[in-house]
């Protein structure tokens, strides 16, 4: 742990709050909690987007579709999110390798 020197002007509530926020972020950063949290949120988003796409493609109130049209609809909805997921997972594994 580094020793932090305080200046004479470093007093008051805002300076105390800034110091505590900095210490909290250091604690989070040392344990890679931010990287884990982002990965879990993206995984959860994948589940939500896929569930929504399946429900939308399966909706009986919409016009009748064959299997290829339903698959194309699911792919069109999930493909952009999969690009985000691939970038986030690549970042996660690169960050863990350091």
pLDDT tens digits, residue range 40-83? 898 899 899 989 888 877 775 566 777 788 788 888 888 999 89
Asked if the model's pLDDT at residue 5 lies above 70, the reply is no
CA distance linking residue 95 with residue 35, whole number of Å: 8
CA distance linking residue 52 with residue 43, whole number of Å: 14
The structure tokens listed for 82 are 């999969």
Give the chain's mean pLDDT: 80
Q: What is the pLDDT of residue 48?
A: 93
Asked if the model's pLDDT at residue 2 lies above 80, the reply is no
CA distance linking residue 20 with residue 6, whole number of Å: 14
Asked if the model's pLDDT at residue 98 lies above 70, the reply is no
């Amino acid at each position: 742990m580094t020793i932090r020197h305080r200046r004479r002007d470093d007093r008051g509530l805002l300076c105390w709050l800034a110091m505590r926020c900095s210490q909290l972020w250091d604690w989070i950063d040392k344990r890679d909690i931010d990287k884990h949290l982002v990965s879990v949120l993206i995984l959860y988003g994948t589940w939500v987007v896929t569930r929504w796409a399946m429900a939308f493609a399966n909706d009986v109130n919409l016009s009748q579709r064959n299997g290829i049209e339903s698959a194309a609809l699911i792919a069109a909805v999930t493909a952009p999110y999969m690009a985000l997921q691939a970038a986030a997972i690549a970042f996660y594994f690169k960050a863990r390798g350091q």
